[in-house]
Amino acid sequence: MSASLHEGTVEAVRARVGKRGFSSYVEDAVLRQIRRDNLRELLEEHTGQYGEFTPEEMADARAALHGAEKDHRGSAA
């Protein structure tokens, strides 16, 4: 397998990981993109069948991905 990359891209990756980590870095990036593509396809299928997500569903999804937001109201320390 062979792939062509712009020289600036190659330099940026090497600056981050050196010569030995180059293939792993690119592999990880490609896998992340495949996961994003798969997720987008699932979301398009879902919204096509059930419509757009409600604000509550979006808040629940954000909380599941990033953790529940802390409520900063009230308690003074």
* pTM over 0.75, yes/no: no
Q: Where are the beta strands (DSSP E) in the chain?
A: none
Checking if the pLDDT of 29 tops 80, the result is yes
Give the pLDDT confidence of 43-60 residue by residue, as tens digits.
999 999 999 999 999 999
Checking if the pLDDT of 36 tops 80, the result is yes
Tokens of 77: 């320390």
Quote the CA–CA distance of 36 and 15 in Å, as a whole number: 25
